[in-house]
Amino acid sequence: MADEQKQVQAALAEAPRGEGHGQGGYGGLRREGGREGGGRREGGPGGGPGGARRGKRQYFRKKKVCKFCVEKMDLIDYKRADILSQFVQERGKILPRRMTGVCARHQRWLGVAIKRARNIALLPFAGSAAGATAPKVVEAHKS
Amino acid sequence: MEERLYDLIFIARPATPEDEIKKVIHSIEHACTEKGGKIEKSEHWGTRKLAYRVAKHREGMYYYHQIRTGHGELIAELERRLHVQDSVIKYLTIRLDEDLKRQKKLGEKREKRAARRPRRPAATPAQPAEQQQASAD
């Protein structure tokens, strides 16, 4: 009985800390996945990989290059849902730059293209975009 | 007025008969010839699964046209006609020429920069040799 109570109390004590809304000087950094929010808070006593309170989660970021800059894509086609779906979450939300490593200019163009694709039902507004394919031309005729 | 390039995509209901689609396409072509526009490309992407339900359908037939015109009001006319059709459940017009101009400009700048730099495989560390690195990838 006492064990159960202790467990319950421990769970209750953990839960609000896991939600952690920017205490400890992290400012406007929202949690990017509840689990990591809790891990961040409790990484304190261990010293925290990457230094104590340096700010953002440097230890999670590996060096990323902008995919579009590497491929020298100057035009992000809104019709290519297969390319766009790589930059979209499972729930349909656009992924932030720090996750994908896209440069600022291409992130802006990407946002525009994704919103256009959403309007023409090539990508969902909310929901899984798995299985998004590029349009296959069945018949093309120049008139 | 200079020529502008537009993308026109419309989605028809999944089981629409062929002649209804022909009617829609004819009305598009008719409007183009009336108002002075040229259809550059015309494609049919087949029946695709829609990302969300539109007019209670989960699939739709996609048709794509690329139109070049000097008269902007042609687009308003086309959209009006598409809106009236029952078989068309969604349409979208996008103006393309500014994007293409920018793409061309960036491409030309990139080529000029590449031609100006000595094409040597990373011999000088001082130069930011992003071109060579990218081509080596």
* Share in percent of chain B as helix, strand, coil (round to 5): 40, 35, 25
Q: Which residue has the higher pLDDT, B100 or A1?
A: B100
**Closest residue, chain A, to B108 (C-alpha):** A74
- Rounded CA separation B109/B40 (Å): 27
The whole-angstrom separation of Cα B67 and Cα B39 is 4
Q: At B8, give phi and psi (nearest 5°).
A: -125, 120
Q: How far is A62 from chain B (nearest CA, A)?
A: 19
pLDDT tens figures, A21-46: 444 444 444 444 444 444 445 444 44
pLDDT in tens, A85-143: 889 998 889 999 988 889 899 999 999 999 999 999 999 998 877 767 777 777 766 55
Nearest to B79 by CA among B61, B94, B58: B94
Residues of chain A contacting B42 with CB distance shorter than 8 Å: 140-143
Spatial distance between the Cα atoms of A108 and A122, rounded to a whole number of angstroms = 19
Q: Name A74's Cβ contacts closer than 8 Å, sequence gap at least 6.
A: B102, B103, B106, B107
Determine contact: A3 vs chain B, CB below 8 A.
Answer: no
HEC secondary structure over B62-101: EEEEEEEECCCHHHHHHHHHHHHCCCEEEEEEEECHHHHH
B28-72: pLDDT as tens digits: 999 998 888 889 989 999 899 999 988 898 999 999 999 999 888
pTM equals 0.67
Minimum-distance CB partner of A121 among B40, B51, B100: B51
Q: Over range B14-22, report the average pLDDT.
A: 90
Nearest-by-CA chain A residue for B99: A75
Residue A132 is predicted with a pLDDT of: 75
Is A139 near chain B, with CB under 8 Å? Answer: yes
Q: Which range scores top for mean pLDDT: B79-83, B95-99, B110-114? A: B79-83
From the list B94, B103, B134, the residue facing A74 with the nearest CB is B103
Determine the angle formed by the axes of helices B73-84 and B18-35, rounding to 10 degrees: 160
Cβ-based neighbour number of residue B67 at 10 Å: 24
How distant is the Cα of A33 from the closest Cα of chain B, in angstroms?
A: 25
- Report yes or no: A127 at the B interface, CB cutoff 8 Å: yes
